[in-house]
């Protein structure tokens, strides 16, 4: 399935673009500083506010249509529901691991192996409630697969695939193995290349359409800030 408008520019930090939309669902390319849904700790405008009546489904009035989310500070693709039955179907597909979510990440350091799997439960950190942690409070299963696609002098460019979708999962897992994401000050990542957020982008999204069964596949290129940071990392590598 092709995006709705391939000529749309990338979203700004607090913006988004609709990559695909029909009567059942929409695929969104989210800007990095846009919060997905309302929360007690945040008073600004959210993706749910901006999409308004285009979203539907689910029991939570504050997050209609939301079946998964991206952290504030993480850009890229996510799918939302536009009606109740599709919302339930998408949630079930995510639970059954039929939705493919692949991220591009820049992690600190060089990895010993080209591929790997991190299987470590994630829950709320005990002393810093804004953080999650391996084996934290009320931990739940969390599985992350990664592949090093480019090894630089100080960093590694990764393709990361989620098997589960816990809050901050990729960020927590990368810190846990000693390779925090560049720019991720919450999880002790080095701040380099002018980044003001973690180098993490939801680059590819795939799933069978809940109504037609057609295999949907979408990609979103790196936004300008991450592309610039990666170029700087590559230049530093060549010095």
44 φ, ψ to 5°? -80, 180
Q: Does the annotation mark 71 as catalytic?
A: yes
What is d(CA 38, CA 175) in angstroms, rounded to the nearest whole number? 27
What is d(CA 160, CA 25) in angstroms, rounded to the nearest whole number? 25
Closest to 113 measured CA to CA, from 153, 142, 156: 156
Residue 203 DSSP SS3? strand
Residue 226 DSSP SS3? helix
Q: From start to end of 31-69, where are the E strands? A: none
What is d(CA 75, CA 30) in angstroms, rounded to the nearest whole number? 5
Quote the longest CA-to-CA distance of the chain. 55
The single residue listed with the structure tokens 């209609």 is 64
Cα 22 versus chain centre, distance = 22
Contact predicate 81/207, CB 8 Å: no
What is d(CA 24, CA 81) in angstroms, rounded to the nearest whole number? 6
What is d(CA 87, CA 225) in angstroms, rounded to the nearest whole number? 32
Catalytic residue among 22, 33, 71, 119: 71
Catalytic residues: 71
């Amino acid at each position: 399935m092709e995006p709705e408008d391939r000529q749309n520019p990338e979203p700004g930090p607090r913006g988004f673009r609709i990559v695909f939309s029909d009567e059942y669902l929409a695929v969104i390319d989210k800007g990095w500083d846009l919060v997905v849904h309302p929360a007690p700790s945040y008073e600004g405008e959210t993706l749910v506010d901006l999409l308004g009546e285009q979203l539907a489904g689910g029991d939570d009035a504050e997050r209609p249509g939301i079946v998964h989310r991206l952290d504030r500070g993480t850009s890229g693709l996510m799918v939302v529901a536009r009606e109740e039955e599709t919302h339930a179907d998408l949630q079930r597909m995510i639970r059954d691991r039929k939705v493919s979510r692949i991220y591009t990440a820049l992690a600190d350091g060089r990895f010993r192996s080209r591929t790997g799997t991190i299987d470590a439960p994630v829950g709320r950190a005990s002393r810093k409630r804004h953080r999650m942690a391996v084996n934290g409070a009320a931990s739940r299963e969390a599985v992350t697969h990664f592949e090093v696609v480019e090894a630089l002098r100080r960093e590694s460019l990764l393709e990361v695939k989620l098997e589960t979708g816990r809050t901050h999962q990729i960020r927590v897992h990368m810190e846990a193995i000693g390779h925090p994401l560049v720019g991720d000050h919450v999880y002790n990542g080095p701040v380099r290349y002018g980044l003001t957020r973690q180098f993490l982008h939801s680059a590819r999204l795939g799933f069978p359409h809940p109504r037609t069964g057609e295999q949907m596949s979408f990609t979103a290129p790196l936004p300008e800030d991450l592309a610039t940071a990666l170029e700087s990392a590559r230049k530093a590598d060549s010095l």
